[in-house]
Amino acid sequence: MVYRGCVVKLENDFAVVLTSTMEYLKVVKKDGLEEGKEIIFVQEDIYRRSKVSIRTIGLAAAMFLMMFISMTWLNPWSTTKILANTAAVVSIDINPSVELEINQAQEVLKVIPINEDGKKVVSEKLLGMAIDEAVLAIVDSAKTLNYLTEERNMVLISTTMTAEKVSLDGKEIVGRIEQKLEEKLDIQEIQVAYLEGKKEDVKKARAQHVSIGKYGVLKKAEADGEQITVEEIKELKVQQILDKGVGKLNVKELKKKIQDDEINDDQIENKVTDEKEKKENHPPGQEAAPGLGKAPGLQKAPGLQKAPGQIKKEASAENQNSENRKQEDKDKEKAVEEETSKKAQGKTKDQKEKSKDEENAKDVNSKEWKIWLEKQKQKNKN
């Protein structure tokens, strides 16, 4: 239908037209429209309000979005699904190797013993436990089965994030585990080595029937140029791995009591210095020199005597940390330092000879101390 009409009024987004049939109509605006002009137009030119309903479209979009959000976030089904998915894999090697799959809430979903010994230390009740409780249970049963003794007290823990969008931190998990072990474990001393695995390694490790922790050690060793095969590492016990220094692991000692027997074991001393190297990012030559240089001789040289002192320092500092984390400031550090150095001095036979070395070492040590303590603080914060 063709309309003929006179433009009577121009508005912002339409024009009012009086047609030849005395109808008042709104038409869409086009170029050159002026009041008083006669125009010819067709049905399609008639202005409809629905044309400019950007607001309604926006409203509809907002409603849709709300529905979508409420469906995805409030639906309990999806939340259970998130919790049912494996978020991380934690592997524990003593000699029994066990892998624990945990979800985002750090609850155990699946327990996989890697070797024969592993089967002995796991049980059904581990499922659904918090990860730190589960590890404690495993370590406990390993102890009762005599896998873990005063001499063989190494535990290798590795964490691997498998899910992509997970707000889990491997270090945090290990921190919790360590804390738990420290609190509950009725064993004098336990050494924990920690490795963070990569997602790809999980599959490879499983294909070779080796735990992720051991696989991580193997990879590290290979990176360092050591010759070792998968079969070899499978056979090795964690204690042996650490004793041999394969892969140079970070070791942390957890002790039940502050006062402990002196450790005169040559190997452990080596390990401790080794550990120091790692922890403090210290060039090996500087610090390890007195310990390492004199250790092979197995004499009661000042360096050797100093080494247990260092262990002490660490141990006591650790206790201090756990006791008063917040109060740690520089004054405290010094006090601790002095205290421990006194203890160390008390145990030495020839103090004169030692004092020189001590002072030299102190300068170096105090710097390292601060760095180390800061690291500890950060860890505790986490």
Partner 1 sequence: MARLLNFLKKDSLTNRLKKIKDGDSQEREIFIEEYIPFIIKTISNTTNRYVESENSEEYSVGLEAFNEAIDKYEGSRGTFISFAELVIKSRVTDCLRRASRHMVSVPISQYDDEQEQQIEAQLKTEDFTVAFELKDEMRAFEEQLKAFDITFSDLVNEAPKHVDTRVNSIQIAKFVATHQELKDELFRKKTLPGTKITKELNVTLKMLKRSRKFIIAAVLILDSDLELLKNYIYEIEGGVADGIQGMRGKA
CA angle, corner 157, sides to 155 and 158, nearest 5?
A: 160
Q: Which is nearer to partner 1, 37 or 370 (CB)?
A: 37
For residue 113, what is the enclosing H or E element? strand 108-113
Q: Which is nearer to partner 1, 44 or 186 (CB)?
A: 44
Q: What angle, 0 to 180 degrees and rounded to 10, lies between the N-to-C axes of helices 351-381 and 302-323?
A: 30
**Interacting span for partner 1 (CB under 8 A) from 3-11, 111-119, 240-248, 352-360:** 3-11
Q: How far is the CB of 11 from partner 1 (least distance, A)?
A: 8
Q: Which of 12, 13, 33, 354 binds partner 1 (CB under 8 A)?
A: 33
Q: How far is the CB of 67 from partner 1 (least distance, A)?
A: 35
**3 backbone dihedrals φ, ψ, rounded to 5°:** -105, 145
Q: How far apart are the C-alpha atoms of 289 and 357, rounded to whole Å?
A: 12
Using CB under 8 A as the binding rule, whether residue 46 contacts partner 1 is answered as no
Using CB under 8 A as the binding rule, whether residue 130 contacts partner 1 is answered as no
Using CB under 8 A as the binding rule, whether residue 45 contacts partner 1 is answered as yes
Using CB under 8 A as the binding rule, whether residue 18 contacts partner 1 is answered as yes
Q: How far apart are the C-alpha atoms of 38 and 4, rounded to whole Å?
A: 7
Q: Which is nearer to partner 1, 47 or 245 (CB)?
A: 47
Q: Which of 2, 54, 57, 207 binds partner 1 (CB under 8 A)?
A: 2
Is residue 240 classed exposed, middle or buried when 0-12, 13-18 and 19+ CB atoms within 10 A define those classes? middle
> Judged by CB under 8 A, how many residues of this single chain contact partner 1?
33
Q: Which is nearer to partner 1, 30 or 203 (CB)?
A: 30
For 4, which DSSP code?
E
Using CB under 8 A as the binding rule, whether residue 192 contacts partner 1 is answered as no
Residues numbered 77 to 116 that lie near partner 1 (CB under 8 A) are none
**Interacting span for partner 1 (CB under 8 A) from 20-28, 186-194, 257-265, 319-327:** 20-28
Q: In whole angstroms, how far apart are CA 348 and each of 291, 292, 297, 334?
A: 15, 18, 18, 21
Whole-angstrom Cα Rg for the chain: 36
Q: How far is the CB of 51 from partner 1 (least distance, A)?
A: 15
Q: How far apart are the C-alpha atoms of 338 and 356, rounded to whole Å?
A: 16
Closest CA to 155 of 94, 242, 218: 94
Using CB under 8 A as the binding rule, whether residue 51 contacts partner 1 is answered as no
**Site for partner 1, rule CB under 8 A:** 1-2, 6-9, 16, 18-27, 30-45
